[in-house]
Structure 1
Amino acid sequence: MADAIYVIDDDLDLAQSLARLFGRHGLEAHAFADPAGLPSVQRGGEGGLCIVTDIMLGDDNGFDVAQSIRAWAPSAAVLFMTAWPHTADAVDAIRRHGGIDYLEKPIDEERLLRSVSEGLAWSRERTLAARAIERLSAREREVLGLVADGKSSKAIANVLGLSLKTVEDHRAAIRAKTGAHLLEDYVRLGRALPINLGDK
């Protein structure tokens, strides 16, 4: 399925303008004034999904929207935009709420297009990794996460209270199910493991 972009702003004219901008660059984009409409258009497939949301949304805010999006689209990339930029908000957006970028209004179109392109690529990679992880058992996911953190098989055995052979068997199963061989493969898959964004 093709990539898609959802633009959320209580100024619907602005949201539609940005959607048209994406459309002119060959990207599928939809505009929303209310984030409540998003779950009705959630998608399947392996295409990337990028959410571009204003921080101030009437009674809602973009940070809360980002949290709710993770419930039904954990592989979506999120970009925040605002007319009232604050450094603290920018740091919060990126670190705590899983944002890809933080854009100030009026929007720099070149930066927006570049950030959305990066976000869609990130989303596609995370979607594929999540599909691979679905094939793993709960214990294999634990081992995957520890390998991604740089721990050796011996260290993992100590952490999980397993024999070294059992850990190696789990790693062999992970390789067979996901194709992961190098540490960078484990790190890439590890990024798609379920996380609590509030703890970041």
Structure 2
Amino acid sequence: MTLPANQPDRAAVYVVDDDHDLGAAVARLLCRHGHAAEPFLDPVMLLSVYAEAPALCIVTDIMMGDLDGFGFADRVRMIDPAVAIVFMTAWPTTANAVDSVRRYGGLDYLEKPLDETRLLSAVDEGVAWSRRQRSIRARTAALSARERQVFDLLVQGHSNKAVADILGLSPKTVEDHRAAIVAKTGTNGLAQLIALAR
């Protein structure tokens, strides 16, 4: 199996479903709409190769064999916290719908048979979200651990003085960290740092 590469115009999307025909049909639909989609019958198989070829979005069934969609989501997020996940199920429940978003970070919870328009919209939204997350991570990757702490507090709205008090630093040290953060992220002030974090 050849894993799709992320290309600017064709995002890698994986479809995980133990129903071979459905997974293949969803992947074909996504391919027709400009994505590089690949179906997987087994979430464990995808996990074994995922680090080599991460996706921007994963569409996964919830009810599968040994590893269900929620357990799979937990494991794939350990490898790639910036991937968007869309859950689908033939057995919808309110509890699972809530859990899929709140506990497992899913972007959407789709009922089978799938509404194609909603599926395509969810995947497009997921691809855009993942690209933003990857951009943020790339721009903040050069920050030191202390700069990351300062960054996180600044974008939460804390003043330099408040950040200094929270971290036990001098305000001058916080100002120095803030200047380094602005330089490393290519931003030109607090407003752009906040926008970057969002």
> TM exceeds 0.5?
yes
Which residue of structure 2 lines up, in the alignment, with residue 64 of structure 1? 71
SS at match of 1:10: coil
For residue 29 of structure 1, the aligned residue among 29, 37, 48 is 37
- Give the aligned CA root-mean-square deviation in angstroms: 1.8
- SS state at 2:81 partner: coil
- List alignment gaps of at least 5 residues for structure 2: 1-5
The one-letter amino acid of 1:76's match is V
Using structure 1 for the length normalisation, give the TM-score: 0.88
Residue 181 of structure 2 corresponds to residue 171 of structure 1 = no
For residues 101 and 51 of structure 1, do their structure 2 counterparts lie closer, same or farther at Cα, with a shift above 3 Å needed?
same
Q: Is 1:15 paired with 2:26?
A: no
Aligned residue for 2:60, secondary structure, equals strand
**Runs of 5+ consecutive residues of structure 1 not aligned to the other structure:** 192-200
Q: Are the equivalent residues in 1 in contact too, given 2:84–2:107 (CA < 8 A)? A: yes
**Aligned-residue offset at 1:187:** 3.9
Q: Percent identity between the aligned chains? A: 54
Partner of 2:169: 162
Q: 2:160 aligns with which of 136, 153, 165?
A: 153
Quick one: structure 1 residues 182 and 104, their matched pair in 2 at CA, closer, same or farther if it must change by over 3 Å? farther
Letter paired with 2:16: I
The alpha carbon displacement at 1:103 in A equals 0.7
Q: Give the structure 2 partner of residue 118 of structure 1.
A: 125
Within a 5 Å distance, the mapping from 1:41-190 to structure 2 comes to: 41-43=50-52, 49-181=56-188, 183=190, 185-187=192-194, 189-190=196-197
The aligned residue for residue 196 of structure 1 is none
**SS of corresponding position for 1:89:** helix
- Paired residue type of 1:94: V
